[in-house]
Amino acid sequence: MTLDEGARRYVSEHFFRRGAVGREEAVLPEGRVGASFSLLRPPARGCRPVVDEVSLTAGQLCVDEVDPGHARGRLLGQPFAARYAKGTLEELELGPARFTRWAGAVTPGPSPFDQGFPLEGDGALGLAPAVAGARVVEVEGGAGGPGGDCLERAQAYVAAHPGSTVELGLVAHDGRAWPHAWVRTRGGGRVDPSAAVPFEAYLALEHAGERYVELLSGARRAVRR
């Protein structure tokens, strides 16, 4: 994070490293593959169904150009360009993000979301400047208690209740705004499996990852008005 003439600029490098060995299987709709796995090897030309492993939203991988070293197309609606070496993904540009294979050891740093975001004012939870796809929603409390973080609890609920989906956004709690995940049920209601008692307010966000980065960089603020 840098400050230049009053403007903040956020640049991040994300690393995925191996931790304790375990076995996990995502419960995906029949015939679908996870979006994260769909480009690990050079894909065939054409379109096929994939699923976002976080939200379990169904979409398409459409490959327009492919050769042994490169592939281009769209993944879940975003343009991508992939580079391969010996049949293995080396670099992926997906929308505004760029991912590079890293062979060295990586020491993880602290999560940038551990302290939440400052929350200004009183009233309805929102973002400033306002953004399309942000809406206050009513959410019921779930079982609460131990059993993983909010995203893990939401994904487990979705796996056990077909037709429901994970919803991402912000919650207001203790004077701050926090990234959070809950569930939109098949009937259109909402439940928070990780909270026995609902938080003060819930704000559902489209493209939540982009909104979180904007909050970190100062491009947007969490407000109540």
Q: What is the pLDDT of residue 7?
A: 64
C-beta of residue 35 within 8 angstroms of C-beta of residue 50: yes
CA distance 171 to 192: 11
Task: Round to the nearest angstrom and report the end-to-end CA distance of the chain.
Answer: 28
Q: What is the pLDDT of residue 16?
A: 47
Closest Cα partner for 160 from 32, 59, 27? 27
Q: What is the pLDDT of residue 211?
A: 95
C-beta of residue 94 within 8 angstroms of C-beta of residue 80: yes
Q: What is the pLDDT of residue 142?
A: 84
Domain positions in the chain = 18-100, 117-224
Closest Cα partner for 51 from 24, 78, 76, 79? 76
Amino acid (one-letter) located at 115: Q
CA 120, distance to chain mean position in Å, is 24
Mean pLDDT by groups of 10 residues along the chain of 225 residues: 60 53 54 83 93 83 94 95 94 90 74 89 95 96 73 91 94 96 95 94 95 93 95
CA distance 44 to 35: 15
Beta strands 46-51; 70-75: pairing state:
unpaired
CA torsion, points 168, 172, 178, 180, in degrees to nearest 10? -30
Q: What is the pLDDT of residue 45?
A: 95
Express each pLDDT in 94-129 by its tens digit: 988 888 887 777 676 777 888 899 999 999 999 999
Q: Is 154 left (phi over 0), alpha (psi -120 to 50) or beta?
A: alpha
Q: What is the pLDDT of residue 103?
A: 76
